Copies of this chain bind each other. A is one copy, B any other.
Amino acid sequence: MSETINVMLAGPRGKMGTEALKMIDETNNFQLVGCIDRKHNGQLVSEVDGLPNLNAPIYTDAEEAFERLNADVFIDLTNPETGFKHTKLALHNHIRPVIGTSGFSDGQLDELKKLSHNQQTGVVIAPNFAIGAVLMMRFSQMAAKYFPNVEIIEKHHDEKLDAPSGTAVKTAQLIKEVRDSMKQGHPDEHETIAGARGADIDGMHVHSVRLPGFIAQQEVIFGQSGQTLTIQHNSTDRKSFMSGVKFAVEEVMKIDHFVYGLENLME
């Protein structure tokens, strides 16, 4: 039997926050000890409309919450500004933070790293909680050493405004770290209609499909003479983030240092 992990959470009424409460509720060895919220001070989570039936108190004062609650792990699903304050408070109280944001500056990350070191308290900052996407990027980086020719196709709903997606760009950057810069395709290739060969990131071609009916999908295709290797991630629901949050909570218990990105928690 795993030992119980006492968890506190900031942002219980956001979409992600509510999903996280459900996940905590459904995980045998996780125990919710309290929440930080902008409203409902003094109430129980179970008393708030739309939240799961959990008997944990709500605090609007973060400092009070960190002092009163006997928590092992603190999950923050608010915003970068509030999240940064919370993370520092948590570390000062030796409560391990699990923070889902890509919005911290380099300076903020440095400050948290030092604080984690001084407090000897583990912290996980995760810009992406979708374990499948994290694995896709990691495998892509590994594969690129042996398959330098690679293209990326990402497919999203047609409400998405920017192309290529952030995940596609990040994947290309990770691949760039491990392969020599190269111009892919035939040296004499030409587009008879502009854009056919996609966006060029360090010689890699990236293609963005936007159609109703898709949610979020990416495939990374590696080719060499006689074979192709494809790694595809398909996300259909934000529930997919919860397995990543759960994993981070379990792993932050095992460390006493600063970790950025779920991939660095994986063996």
- A199 partner residues in chain B, CB cutoff 8 A: 191, 193-196
Q: How far is the CB of A242 from chain B (nearest CB, A)?
A: 7
Secondary structure class of chain A's binding surface, majority of residues: mixed
> Which of A50-71 touch B at CB < 8 Å?
none
Q: How far is the CB of A21 from chain B (nearest CB, A)?
A: 15
A195 contacts B193, C-beta separation under 8 Å: no
A142 contacts B135, C-beta separation under 8 Å: yes
| With known contacts A163-B196, A193-B199, A197-B163, A136–B229 Cβ distance under 8 A | yes
Determine the distance from Cα of A215 to Cα of B214 in the docked complex, in whole angstroms.
13
B240 contacts A233, C-beta separation under 8 Å: no
A190's partner among B161, B184, B238 (CB-CB below 8 A) is B161
Beyond A230-B230, A230-B234, 20 extra complex contacts between A and B, CB < 8 Å: A132-B222, A135-B143, A160-B189, A161-B186, A164-B193, A193-B201, A197-B208, A198-B208, A207-B209, A211-B223, A212-B223, A212-B224, A212-B225, A213-B224, A213-B225, A215-B236, A226-B241, A228-B233, A228-B234, A229-B231
Interfacial residues, chain A to chain B (CB-CB below 8 A): 130-133, 135-136, 139, 142-143, 145-147, 149-151, 153, 155, 158-164, 169, 184-186, 188-201, 205-215, 221-243, 247, 266-267
